[in-house]
């Protein structure tokens, strides 16, 4: 019991000393923000006081945001993230940029080599009905048959392709139709 009383007495006697420390100055909050790498706070303007008011971590909108929304503390933010050279807005913050032009192999290519963006390409370009590959992209097709006026015509009316024509000689019974047949 006596020990208990002494303890209480010590406690009561100690109060004035702590109390005196606390009232040694009245905290006064600075209006400007103080900050370090991770936090911001309002410091106390009174003397050597370590009191920090409203201390909190910096607030950034996203990984690309380089200054704190509250105190403006700058940091080295993450680089913007784009899917590929053709992507015009950052995947993280939406920041717009002027992307690289889409890359197509040729006028007939309908999707970008980089991002796959589809477009309506030019029509394939062939010299004439007999041409079997596109001048632009080389796409092969089944062209029209060469067109000759008759069995003796040695070059195609469409493309000028020459062929060997055998003009029958010495057999007057052969008609032109037979000559045609011989060509096939």
- At closest approach, how far in Å is the CB of 25 from Zn ion? 6
Cα angle vertex 49, ends 44, 53, to 5°? 40
Give the count of residues interacting with Zn ion (CB under 5 A): 35
Structure tokens at 126: 């062939």
Residues, the chain, total? 184
**Which of 144, 149, 145, 143 has its CA nearest to residue 179?**
149
Q: Name the nearest CA neighbour of 71 among 32, 128, 111, 106.
A: 32
Residue 64 as a binder of Zn ion (CB under 5 A): the answer is yes
* Shortest distance (Å) from residue 10 CB to Zn ion: 28
Residue 75 lies near Zn ion (rule: CB under 5 A): no
Residues forming the site for Zn ion (CB under 5 A): 27, 40, 44, 46, 49, 51, 58, 64, 68, 70-71, 73, 80, 86, 90, 92-93, 95, 102, 108, 112, 114-115, 117, 124, 130, 134, 136-137, 139, 146, 156, 158-159, 161
């Amino acid at each position: 019991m006596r020990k208990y009383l002494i303890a209480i007495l010590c406690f009561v006697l100690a109060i004035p000393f702590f109390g005196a420390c606390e009232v040694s100055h009245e905290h006064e909050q600075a209006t400007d923000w103080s900050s370090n790498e991770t936090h911001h706070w309002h410091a106390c303007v009174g003397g050597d006081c370590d009191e920090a008011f409203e201390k909190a971590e910096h607030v950034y909108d996203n990984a690309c945001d380089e200054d704190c929304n509250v105190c403006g503390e700058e940091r080295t933010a993450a680089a913007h993230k784009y899917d590929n050279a053709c992507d015009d807005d950052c995947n993280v913050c939406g920041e717009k940029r002027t992307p690289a032009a889409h890359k197509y192999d040729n006028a007939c290519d309908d999707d970008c080599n980089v991002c796959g963006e589809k477009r309506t390409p030019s029509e394939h370009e062939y010299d004439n009905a007999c041409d079997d590959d596109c001048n632009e992209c080389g796409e092969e097709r089944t062209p029209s048959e060469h067109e000759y006026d008759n069995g003796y015509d040695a070059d195609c009316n469409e493309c000028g392709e020459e062929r060997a024509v055998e003009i029958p000689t010495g057999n007057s019974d052969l008609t032109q139709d037979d000559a045609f047949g011989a060509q096939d």
